[in-house]
Amino acid sequence: MGKLVVAGGSPLKGRVRVSGAKNAALAILCASVMAEGEVLLENIPEITDIQVMIDIIRCLGARIRWQENNSLHIQMPGRVEEMPPYEMVKKLRASNLLMGPMLARYGRVELSLPGGCNIGIRPMDLHFKGLAALGAELRLEKGVVKARAERLNGSRIYLDFPSVGATENIMMAACLAKGQTVIENVAKEPEVVDLANFLNCLGARVRGAGTDIIKIEGVDSLRECLRYSVIPDRIEAGTYMVAAAATGGDVRLENVIPLHVEPLSAKLREANVEVFEEGDVLHVRAREPLRPVDIKTMPYPGFPTDLQSQMMALLSTVKGTSMIVENIFENRFRVADELKRMGAKIKVEGRLAVVEGVPRLFGAKVKATDLRAGAALVVAGLMAEGETEISNVYYIDRGYHRLEEKLSSLGARVWRS
């Protein structure tokens, strides 16, 4: 499986380029299934989640090839015979995002209930509710969701929770439905907006992405898109921002949309970290001493759950008490046990974690329990005295493009063993 070893103690210094957004790229890859023509996507991160999604879409008969500069060329077939096997789908939660596009374009889909990161129950009721409202017939047979529809019909759908995946799945399906669809209480994450922009590039008529209501006028078919560049990854950017702050560093992040990381920038400033923008460059400089802060994860533009674990690592050595409330995924706090192995003092009570800052962390053998927990352990390892050996590195490889290379270029000592 391989381990990642992090030797702590060096402040991160220098500049680093942020890759394309994993979560936007995954959704956009799924949307590409609806294009009747070629699609060329730029700024796609070469990480394992993307590779798995490519393999899954290839099972449907797609021709997909990497081109220079992290670009992907995709061409879907006119008909789909095979459905992706369980072994592939189970590796990636986001494979559920194929449901809407497949139904809309090919009239049927069969997908095993997906797996993915181990961060909570992650039901799909809202996805199903939305697709059923568009007229899909859905049934669950031995863990496989089977859905059919001659032609989807536009509808009015209210989401009980602004789920990112449900918003994306329903929005994609509605693009090829007959008539208008209105989705209320939708997710406003930048990845949803990026997906809507891509869909419009294919000829869809989506309005309102980024607000609480998305309206879609269905069209009969979607066409080619010869160039679409995916937004930068705000969670990767955020992880380097936290790592810079945690190590007393001074880092310039290139290829960032500062607005997308504002929920983190605001928190870091509150913790006495300097964060300032220079166009699409974000400069993060630690100051002494850092101050404790309280965090509540919320749907965008609230504080992202995907950066909560990294902040927990940072706060574990900030003198005073910080409180973290996790409102999105209940299993995110499993990382606390690993941080405690490194000397952190964290008490978890349901959705609340109380972090008492200790003077320092110590290197230890720890394991990543999910992707962002893995990132948090890297941050902790960078801060700690001695070497930290992180197992289950495959979680980290799911979402961080060239992690060791990027960290090494900032002066960190990180290697695989």
Interface residues toward ligand UD1, by CB under 6 A? 23, 26, 93-94, 120-127, 161, 163-166, 187, 191, 304-306, 328-329
| Rounded CA separation 415/412 (Å) | 10
| Rounded CA separation 384/364 (Å) | 9
Judged by beta carbon, residue 145 or residue 410, the one nearer ligand UD1 is 145
Minimum CB–partner distance for residue 190 and ligand UD1 (Å)? 11
**Positive or negative, the Cα torsion across 166, 172, 178, 180?**
positive
Residue 303 dihedral angles phi and psi, to the nearest 5°: -70, 125
Minimum CB–partner distance for residue 144 and ligand UD1 (Å)? 17
Residue 289: exposure state from Cβ atoms within 10 A (0-12, 13-18, ≥19): exposed
Which residues are designated catalytic? 117
Tokens of 126: 């809202």
Judged by beta carbon, residue 35 or residue 164, the one nearer ligand UD1 is 164
Minimum CB–partner distance for residue 92 and ligand UD1 (Å)? 8
The residues, ordered by sequence, that sit 6+ positions from 6 with a Cβ below 8 Å of its Cβ are 363, 378, 381, 382, 384, 387, 388, 390, 412, 413, 414
Spatial contact of 172 and 196, defined as CB atoms under 8 Å apart? no
Spatial contact of 82 and 61, defined as CB atoms under 8 Å apart? yes
Minimum CB–partner distance for residue 164 and ligand UD1 (Å)? 4
Judged by beta carbon, residue 106 or residue 329, the one nearer ligand UD1 is 329
What is the number of the residue whose Cβ is closest to ligand UD1? 165
Judged by beta carbon, residue 102 or residue 318, the one nearer ligand UD1 is 102
| Rounded CA separation 161/158 (Å) | 9
Strand arrangement, sheet containing 387-391: 365-367, 387-391, 4-7, 413-416
Judged by beta carbon, residue 126 or residue 246, the one nearer ligand UD1 is 126
Would you tell me how many other CB atoms lie within 10 Å of the CB of residue 190?
22
Minimum CB–partner distance for residue 62 and ligand UD1 (Å)? 19
Judged by beta carbon, residue 66 or residue 161, the one nearer ligand UD1 is 161
Which helix (H) or strand (E) segment holds residue 133: the answer is: helix 125-133
Which helix (H) or strand (E) segment holds residue 406: the answer is: helix 403-409
Supply the Cα-derived Rg of the chain in whole angstroms.
21
Instruction: To the nearest 10°, report the CA torsion of 82, 83, 86, 91.
Output: 110
Judged by beta carbon, residue 76 or residue 126, the one nearer ligand UD1 is 126
Minimum CB–partner distance for residue 199 and ligand UD1 (Å)? 16
Minimum CB–partner distance for residue 333 and ligand UD1 (Å)? 14
| Rounded CA separation 87/100 (Å) | 21
Minimum CB–partner distance for residue 133 and ligand UD1 (Å)? 13
3-state secondary structure at position 36: coil
Tokens of 287: 């100051």
Judged by beta carbon, residue 93 or residue 401, the one nearer ligand UD1 is 93
| Rounded CA separation 51/60 (Å) | 15
Q: What is the DSSP string of 159-191?
A: -SS--HHHHHHHHHHHHTSBSEEEEES----HH
